[in-house]
Structure 1
Amino acid sequence: MEAMTPRPAWRKSSHSSSQGDECVELADLGKVVGVRDSKDPDGPKLFITPGTLRVLLADLKH
């Protein structure tokens, strides 16, 4: 019998407005973080390391 993989818990930033159309969601997947477009949850996803996410967020703040 195959072990079931739990579904990731995707979360939107608390800074996203309820009317915002340009939001991303993140999911902690262990060794990587999943990133997806909240408007297209079945679409493509990006998988990056937590360290890379920290660098990306720091760059976006500048």
Structure 2
Amino acid sequence: MGRFKISVNPEGCDGCAICLDVCPRGVFELESEKAVVSNAEKCENCTACFKQCPQKVISIGVPIENFYQ
């Protein structure tokens, strides 16, 4: 996994799948017409999904375990 933890707020996701298209590593999948993070360990932290999401439902944060290293 990269330096950051990526997540999608399913309540705001409209299933446009732009994140699937712009992610170079295949981190996302659609489940029940919503984007989900299915391969977080492949994330390169490029932030393309975060920048391109029209609904602004993708969050990038620092995993709590990184604070203890």
Q: If the length of structure 2 is used for normalisation, what is the TM-score?
A: 0.25
Q: Which of 1 and 2 has greater Rg?
A: 1
**Greater RCO between the two (CA within 8 Å, min separation 6)?**
2
Q: If the length of structure 1 is used for normalisation, what is the TM-score?
A: 0.26
More helix by share: 2
